Amino acid sequence: MDLQSLRTMIQWISLLLSNMYLGFFKTKQVYQGDLKSACVPFLNCHSCPSALFSCPIGTIQHFMTIQKIPYLLIGYLAAIGITVGSLACGWLCPFGLIQDLLHKIKSIKIRLPEKLTSLRYLVLIFLVILFPLMTQQTVFSKFCPMGTIEAAVPWVIWNPIIPVYGEPAVSIQTLGLLFVVKIIIALLFIGFAVFIKRPFCRLGCPLGAIFGFFNKHSFLQLDVNTQDCKDCNKCRECCPVDINISDDTGASTCVRCFSCLKCENVKVRLGKNNGESKK
């Protein structure tokens, strides 16, 4: 099994292990057991019928709405970021897997301007932190495409019994504009993923923004032998986020998937960045 086949298998295992609660078939209720006090290191909606754990972004918003600082969660995310950077984005995130699979559909492929990737930091600052703090509403979760796929659609179909995070339960009888907007946003990112590599990861994912901040400083690093690099662009062709790793081994949008290791000039290194990448 090659490295990328292993990565895909681990992504599927991650999806299954984080969504193993089957009691919802009987109760039509969100799991609220002890495991829900822990967060997975990727987007997986707290309100998904089968979710065993909480989403770190949903948890951050919850703390903002009650105007408290999630010290433990901050330490947890920082520890992951300092150790492996965005590795969880490339190897564990279910929505990353969905986008990777969609992009394999034959179609015209479009390259996203690098400047647009800064938008996810605005999403983090405003939708995850400031707006929930000011409005006491989990604003990002209301529009998160992963939440729509995993939670909103299933609960609407099954007519939920209990509210989540203090919000009123949504059923087929109470659908409104918010649900329509959620569906449109989800469909847009799903559609864009066919033509653009991981559009949500690069444009809208606040967790990716957090982990990406650590990529230049994490213990896990990538090195490029710049003396032998011929700028063939093969690393960019196989990269799920369209990066030429020889330009910046610590790129904030890198998901540490290691697809670029197909090039013999790219290596994984543990320790401080020694500056071999091009400036």
pLDDT at 273: 53
- CA pair distance 158, 174, nearest whole angstrom: 13
Cβ-based neighbour number of residue 62 at 10 Å: 20
Please indicate, yes or no, if residue 82 is contained in any of the structural domains.
yes
pLDDT at 228: 83
pLDDT at 25: 85
The yes-or-no verdict on residue 109 having pLDDT over 80 is yes
Q: Which residue has the higher pLDDT, 130 or 248?
A: 130
Please indicate, yes or no, if residue 100 is contained in any of the structural domains.
yes
Q: What is the pLDDT of residues 126-147, one digit of tens each?
A: 999 999 999 999 999 999 999 9
Helix (H) or strand (E) holding 220: strand 220-224
Please indicate, yes or no, if residue 62 is contained in any of the structural domains.
no
pLDDT at 84: 97
Predicted model pTM: 0.90
Q: What is the mean pLDDT of residues 161-177?
A: 54
Q: By mean pLDDT, which of 108-112, 160-164, 185-189, 256-260 is the weakest?
A: 160-164
Please indicate, yes or no, if residue 221 is contained in any of the structural domains.
no
What total of structural domains would you count in the chain?
1
The yes-or-no verdict on residue 277 having pLDDT over 90 is no
Largest CA distance in the chain: 64
Q: What is the mean pLDDT of residues 186-205?
A: 97
pLDDT at 96: 97
Q: What is the mean pLDDT of residues 235-250?
A: 91
Burial of 10 (0-12, 13-18, 19+ CB in 10 A): middle
Print the domain residue range for 173: 69-212
Percent of the chain with pLDDT over 90: 75
Q: By mean pLDDT, which of 21-25, 85-89, 91-95 is the weakest?
A: 21-25
The yes-or-no verdict on residue 240 having pLDDT over 60 is yes
Please indicate, yes or no, if residue 235 is contained in any of the structural domains.
no
pLDDT at 20: 95
Please indicate, yes or no, if residue 77 is contained in any of the structural domains.
yes
Please indicate, yes or no, if residue 148 is contained in any of the structural domains.
yes
Residue 106: band (very low, low, confident or very high) from pLDDT cuts 50, 70, 90: very high
Provide the H-helix boundaries in 18-70. 24-27, 56-65
Q: Can you list the positions of beta strands (E) in 73-185?
A: none
Please indicate, yes or no, if residue 129 is contained in any of the structural domains.
yes
The yes-or-no verdict on residue 197 having pLDDT over 60 is yes
